Amino acid sequence: MTKRVALIGATGSIGRQALEIVGAHPSLELVAAASGSTRIDGLAPLTQVGGDFTELLERAEPDVVLNAVVGFAGLPVTLWALERGVDLALANKESLVAAGELALAARARAGGLLLPVDSEHSAAFQCLDGRSPSQVDSLVLTASGGPFRGRTRDELTDVTPEEALAHPTWSMGPKITIDSATLANKGLELIEAHFLFDLPYDRIEVVVHPASVVHALVRFRDGAALAHLGYPDMRVPISYALTYPERAATPVPALDLAGGLTLEFHAPDLESFPLLALARRAGELGGTYPCAYNAANEVAVGAFLEGRLPFLGIADAVEETIAAVDGAAARDLEELLEADAAARQLARERLATPASASAFRPEGAESA
Ligand code: NAD
Ligand code: MG
């Protein structure tokens, strides 16, 4: 049986790898493709560049939607699939982090599958294999630690976008690469895991594992832990989500164990990388705090990439925004969009204040 696939965000890092997976499997048929701004004529029977993708999705009648858009802009695609009970392969973690309960309520009403594409969550999904949260002691998400692992806070003051964009183990789009350098990515993933697996935050741990071979572990209440291992290659979780429950072959090589694979784990450094602890706080506060965390982070990462904000200013902007928003739960999409817009506005105002500006020392300036 063929599966009709709609790929939204087809020109990005995930999108391009998804095209490879779809092209390799005769049972996967690409019926629609969309991108934010790059032309994609002829890529699929239905294509669209920018705008509202929901009409494209209506016409495409997909069996599965792969949401590979980056950022909160992916929200309408996530909600479209969840509200209609169409299976959703979700790479766009920001939409689930921001929409949280609203997204889960839509899924509960319509009953489609929510298949994580994020490698850690795909790994956890497979280790959990439908077992009830009551059997789970805790979920462990692994983090590579990014390019600045091991640095003190002082050693992060002057890092440039170029340095932050050089990720040691994963090749990804710019936004998630910066998020990996600040550990905001792991913070978003912590909140993503809470919503995907219905686990309270005190039962989700994060450990640094530089090799990115163990993607997640689930500790069960009997003392057993199941781990998911594999080389860091997004084609594996993309293929798993698109061919679920069949687990099709991929070109990714088997792990070379006899070649001397060693596994190393450390506690994360929450002082150098405060965005991880801030995500936990935002998640525990609940309501629209995760939405505000995400919104402020998107604004701050954009400013960092444009050279308008120092690296450590990203966490400051998020922290100040979280302290300033009201965080009340959104009862509907309109309230969620308002919360997102309000947090963005606060983050932008904070980036424009003299306090934030004076913290920014342009390249070449003397360090304090
Ligand atoms: P990317 O920047 O490489 O690609 C983003 C895609 O989204 C592009 O196709 C772009 O055209 C589209 N897009 C951007 N802005 C848009 C907008 N406003 N409206 C509609 N489309 C827009 O990003 P990526 O690295 O492929 O990441 C995509 C998502 O997958 C992110 O949420 C990221 O966190 C998640 N993810 C990525 C990886 C990875 O290895 N790249 C791993 C895990 C999760
Ligand atoms: Mg991930």
Closest ligand to residue 170's CA: 1
The reported pLDDT for the residue numbered 355 is 54
pLDDT-derived band of residue 364, with 50, 70 and 90 as boundaries? very low
Per the prediction, the chain carries an average pLDDT of 95
Centre of ligand 2 from the C-alpha of residue 170, in Å: 10
Average pLDDT over residues 113-133: 97
pLDDT band of 170, cuts 50, 70, 90: confident
Tokens at residue 22, please? Answer: 């779809």
Q: In ligand 1, which atom is closest to the CA atom of 9?
A: 9
Could you tell which of 7, 11, 13, 192 is best to mutate to test the pocket of ligand 1, judged by most ligand atoms within 8 Å of the CB?
Answer: 13
Q: For residue 353, with 0-12 CB atoms within 10 Å meaning exposed, 13-18 middle and 19 or more buried, which class applies?
A: exposed
Which residue has its alpha carbon closest to ligand 1 atom 15? 36
Query: In which order are the strands placed within the sheet that holds 225-229?
Result: 204-208, 136-143, 214-220, 225-229
Shortest-distance Cα residue to atom 11 of ligand 1: 36
Ligand 1 pocket by C-beta < 6 Å: which residues?
Answer: 9-15, 35-38, 68-70, 73, 91-94, 118, 170, 172-173, 175-176, 234
Which of the listed residues 95, 115, 169, 176 should we mutate to test ligand 1's pocket, taking the one with most ligand atoms within 8 A of CB? 176
CA dihedral 55, 56, 62, 65 (to 10 degrees): -100
* Residue 284 pLDDT > 50: yes
Contact assessment for residue 315 and residue 355, using Cβ atoms and an 8 Å cutoff: no
Residue range 62-81: mean pLDDT, rounded: 98
Say how many Å lie between the CA of residue 118 and the centre of ligand 2. Answer: 5
pLDDT confidence band for 140 (50 / 70 / 90): very high
Q: How far apart are CA 19 and CA 42, in angstroms?
A: 13
CA 235, CA 16: separation in Å to the nearest integer? 10
Please state the rounded mean pLDDT for residues 139-149: 97
- Residues near ligand 2 ion, CB 5 Å cutoff: 118-120
Note whether 196 and 121 are within 8 A (CB). yes
pLDDT in tens, 287-301: 999 999 999 999 999
Q: Which of 7, 8, 11, 14 has most ligand 1 atoms within 8 Å of CB, for mutation?
A: 14
Which of 29, 26, 30 minimizes the C-alpha distance to 8? 30
Instruction: Report the C-alpha gap between 333 and 149 in whole angstroms.
Output: 38
User: Ligand 1 pocket test: which of 70, 117, 167, 252 has the largest number of ligand atoms within 8 Å of its C-beta?
Assistant: 70
CA 190/CA 273 separation, integer angstroms: 14
Query: How far, in Å, is the centroid of ligand 1 from the Cα of 257?
Result: 32
- 307-361 pLDDT tens trace: 999 999 999 999 999 999 999 999 999 999 999 999 999 999 999 975 544 444 4
Average pLDDT over residues 268-272: 98
Cβ neighbours for 126, distance < 8 A, ≥ 6 positions apart: 228, 240
Cα 37 to middle of ligand 1, angstroms: 12
Distance 181 CA to ligand 1 centre (A): 17
CA distance 176 to 180: 6
> Of all protein residues, whose CA lies closest to atom 20 belonging to ligand 1?
36
Position 8 pLDDT exceeds 70:
yes
In ligand 1, the atom with minimum distance to the C-alpha of 71 is: 32
- Kindly report the pTM of this predicted structure: 0.96
On the question of pLDDT at 154 being above 70, the answer is yes
**pLDDT at position 354, please?**
53
**What is the SS3 string spanning the chain?**
CCEEEEEECCCCHHHHHHHHHHHHCCCEEEEEEEECCCCCCCCCCEEEECCCCHHHHHHHCCCEEEECCCCHHHHHHHHHHHHHCCEEEECCHHHHHHHHHHHHHHHHHHCCCEEECCHHHHHHHHHHCCCCHHHEEEEEEEECCCCCCCCCCHHHCCCCHHHHCCCCCCCCCHHHHHHHHHCHHHHHHHHHHHHHHCCCHHHEEEEECCCCCEEEEEEECCCCEEEEECCCCCHHHHHHHHHCCCCCCCCCCCCCCCCCCCCCCECCCCCCCHHHHHHHHHHHHCCCHHHHHHHHHHHHHHHHHCCCCCHHHHHHHHHHHHHHCCCCCCCCHHHHHHHHHHHHHHHHHHHHCHHHHHHCCCCCCCCC
- Nearest ligand 1 atom to the CA of 92 is 32
Overall average pLDDT of the 212-241 stretch: 98
Query: Tell me, what's the pLDDT at 362?
Result: 43
Question: Ligand 2 center to residue 78 CA distance, Å?
Answer: 18
Predicted confidence at residue 294, as pLDDT, reads 99
Mean pLDDT of 85-110: 98
Burial class (CB in 10 A: 0-12, 13-18, 19+), 144: buried
Instruction: Compute the chain's Rg from CA coordinates.
Output: 20
Predicted pLDDT of residue 357: 46
Residue 367 confidence (pLDDT): 38
Atom of ligand 1 nearest to the CA of 10: 9
Q: How confident is the model at residue 66 (pLDDT cuts 50, 70, 90)?
A: very high
